[in-house]
Structure 1
């Protein structure tokens, strides 16, 4: 989709707050009738603007009480080694997010596990087992101040 008009953006803003809303509820919230809302939503979905519909869980309530951000440096930066690292990280369920970054480190990982013992297991048996790891520096989250998944669109 090349451009999103104001109405498309309002639809997306509403969906980012509650993706369970049906078309009638979305239409009511944005002040449009059901049929045009449905057609716009299908067009937006087809364009790939919406990646997926998900349920966000409260980590503490499902036993995931430890969150860490890991700064990772690689020893060498050849394309095959980078691809191998990224493939290994993509397969690790403890890694919730991974970013290739510029600066002092090469990657920033968001890791969520049950407790410190599980983090140590992850670090020593999974992350450190990847070929070409240079350094890992971990920062542990004490309090989450803000966490959002919604983009400001209006």
Structure 2
């Protein structure tokens, strides 16, 4: 994850972000009412937060269980070779696999951490055999399966 520069946020910006993280569909009118401001300055602040990249996008959060993707696996991967080209090739490969919902390049014992969503264990086996391990630079896969979510948020902790 790149961090080109930190944007200075005041308490009103932080309050706006917190409200949007709870409900991205809140209107500027509703934001203004909760902040005790008029709509125009709230609108301008939200646009500035979007333009500067503090707000990257608005999304709908989907319940994976209700869409038939109830098995979540967390995979720790090691690669054979760590050249720039091999890393880029692996990342491009993983980015094309829809079951991979998150991928992080790590420092430490493993090179990558992947979050995988599939229907069941048979679908996970198919994913490993026919999608992930087709990359010849893969040295080791360590998988764990989520039994229960304790916390699950996309909110960035602020102030």
TM-score computed with the length of structure 2 as normaliser: 0.94
Verify: 1:19 aligned to 2:21, yes or no: no
After superposing on structure 2, the runs of 4+ consecutive aligned residues of structure 1 that deviate more than 6 Å are none
Q: Deviations over 1:52-100 (max 9, x none)?
A: 0000011111111100000000011111111100000011100010001
Q: Which runs of 5+ in 1 are unaligned?
A: none
Q: Which runs of 5+ in 2 are unaligned?
A: 1-5
Verify: 1:96 aligned to 2:101, yes or no: yes
1:29 corresponds to which residue?
34
Verify: 1:80 aligned to 2:100, yes or no: no
Verify: 1:114 aligned to 2:129, yes or no: no
* Aligned counterparts of 1:128 and 1:5: Cα–Cα separation in 2: 47
Residue 117 of structure 1: how far off its partner (Å): 0.9
Q: Deviations over 1:112-141 (max 9, x none)?
A: 011111110000011110120000010000
Secondary structure in structure 2 of the residue aligned to 1:128 = helix
Residue 31 of structure 1: how far off its partner (Å): 1.8
* CA RMSD in angstroms, aligned pairs only: 1.0
* 1:1-154 pair list within 5 angstroms: 2-154=7-159
Residue 102 of structure 1: how far off its partner (Å): 1.2
- Counterpart contact for 2:72–2:117, Cα < 8 Å: yes
- Counterpart contact for 1:71–1:106, Cα < 8 Å: yes
- Counterpart contact for 1:85–1:131, Cα < 8 Å: no
* Aligned counterparts of 2:10 and 2:136: Cα–Cα separation in 1: 47
* Aligned counterparts of 1:40 and 1:146: Cα–Cα separation in 2: 30
TM-score computed with the length of structure 1 as normaliser: 0.97
